[in-house]
Structure 1
Amino acid sequence: MGDEWAGSDAYEDYVGRWSRRVADPFLRWLDVPAGKRWLDVGCGTGALTATVLTLKDPAQVIGLDSSEAFLVGARAQVSDARASFIVGDARTLPFPDDRFDAVVSGLALNFVPEPHLAVAEFGRVAAQGGTVAAYVWDYGEGMAMMRYFWDAATTLDPAAAELDEGRRFPICHPERLHRLWADTGLDDIVVEPIEVATVFSDFDDYWRPFLGGQGPAPGYAMSLDEQHRNALRDLLHARLPACPDGSVALTARAWAVKGVAA
């Protein structure tokens, strides 16, 4: 339900704006010098690609995503001759072996049906000694905006637990990410948390993105009839911590993993 994204605006309003905050510390964590060739797999609306261009001064960066709708948004956002965007499948990358100095993926790997195939492809197209790295939200414990949502949803509808990303995406965990990288044959593997603030101006700023209907949680919210959706909204309003000015200050944690191609 709602895993497919039909437009970049809904993604940006829901989670893209927070993805940008993770991209900066993630790239600073990677020891990749200027002038290198980058591949951004699952580039979405281009947040990570744009940050690569800003922070890493690459010779080239290619963004790949399975969603043409996302790539429309990425091309509109990134106007740099060093960047290009193509439609493709993370499990069968359309590139020769040893093509890139850095292969990265932001908040996409958990949506790939066979993530081990994708990471194997990351390693294949990375040059020897190149960096292979990714980050994913900690859906189980660290992504507060979604944790509050699913805890409220399952209070009202226990069957909603089956849709909770914390249950559905087991790779979003440090030990599992480390194992995934190790099983691919990557060396010098490190996993670290990255935590960013997610401050909503008021409750409506928090709730409105769930009405976009795209992504697991918004898809669930919009599958409800008006009475049950209003009940979920009211329970969230009662549970979310509000600051004196009405803002809602939460945090979001992502797990980042990096390794070196043998």
Structure 2
Amino acid sequence: MVHEVWARGDAYGFFMGRWSRRVAAAFVPWLGVPPGRRWLDAGCGTGALSAAALAAADPAEVTGVDPAEGFIGHARAQVADARARFEVGDATSLSFPAGRFDAVVSGLVLNFVPEPARAVAEFARVAAPGATVAAYVWDYAEGMAMLRYFWDAATVLDPAAATLDEGARFPLCRPERLGELWTETGLSGVAVQPIEVPTVFADFDDYWTPFLGGQGPAPGYVMALAEDHRTALRDTLRRRLPTGSDGSIALTARAWAVGGYA
């Protein structure tokens, strides 16, 4: 049985964090939140989105909340800014009073929340009148090439792996459903925007090694395999990935961003 582990900030950073930071850097300016505002980063993980807000939006404060203590510890160590604080918490049951924040954001987490509608309702509850409420998720079905290649190769060797493929499991990670969720919550001025970033790997090892960290569905699947099956998957991927003459692997990653106003 594959367990989806979300605990080690260092392993997550090596696997996905380097790409999520690029999406966060593009997402924050898109929001257009004025300086001096109070931000909540719900499901902050290792702090990539909080760091982007601090760097680009000049907030008065940023509060990050995540259920994983390991991620919170990593965020505290990595985001050295007096305006930021991080605490363990649940996006579906936030501990803050109504109207507390001027911007409530969430990066790459809503599809992993058991009740995303409840989480977005909480985002709206703690948002001040007129506050920005926004999020982004990977386009697992088509736009996240590093994972699309992975699951397509995995299912060739093991058809049962299709049940773990995020592209099939997370219908929320599509623009229409994201927009509907924001509208159904009662948020106004809802807009959905693609954000695409390059994901260039220096060589095959740079692509493959992060899958051995065990953080998330695909790495969890890899580490649950018998050694011979893991080797077969590695070799299948090596053959399938588009490799340049210098050994590099140039892919792209697309996220869908959604935003509205409380």
- Residue by residue over 1:180-214, the C-alpha shift from the partner in whole angstroms, topping out at 9 and shown as x without a partner, is 00110000000010000000000000000111112
Give 1:110's aligned residue.
111
Q: Given residue 26 of structure 1, which amino acid in structure 2 is its aligned partner? A: F
Supply the distance in 2 between the matched residues of 1:29 and 1:257 (Cα, whole angstroms). 10
Offset, 1:4: 2.5
> Within the alignment, does 1:7 sit opposite 2:45 as a pair?
no
Kept in 2: contact 1:65–1:86 (CA 8 A): yes
* Superposed counterparts of 1:143-162, under 5 Å: 143-162=144-163
CA RMSD in angstroms, aligned pairs only: 0.6
Per the normalisation by structure 1, the TM-score is: 0.99
Contact between 1:46 and 1:77, CA under 8 Å: does it hold in 2? yes
User: In structure 2, what is the equivalent of residue 207 of structure 1?
Assistant: 208
CA distance in 2 between counterparts of 1:187 and 1:29 reads 16
Correspondence 1:71-150 to 2 at 5 A = 71-150=72-151
Amino acid at match of 1:66: P
Q: CA deviation at 1:79?
A: 1.2
**Contact 1:2/1:213, CA 8 A, preserved across alignment:** no
SS in 1 for 2:150: helix
Match of 1:250 in 2: 251
Which amino acid counterpart does residue 16 of structure 1 have in structure 2?
G
Distance in 1 between residues matched to 2:4 and 2:130, nearest whole Å: 34
Detail structure 1 runs of 4+ shifted over 3 Å in the superposition: none
Could you tell me which amino acid in structure 2 is paired with residue 36 of structure 1? Answer: R
SS at match of 2:86: strand
TM-score, normalised relative to structure 2 = 0.99
Structure 2: distance between partners of 1:66 and 1:5: 9
Residues 106-127 of structure 1: per-residue CA shift (max 9 Å, x gap): 0011110000000000000000
Structure 1 residue ranges without an equivalent (≥5): none
Unpaired segments of 5 or more residues in structure 2?
none
Q: Secondary structure at the match of 1:147?
A: helix
Contact 1:45-1:74 within 8 A present in 2 as well: yes
Aligned residues: 261
Percent identical among aligned pairs is 69
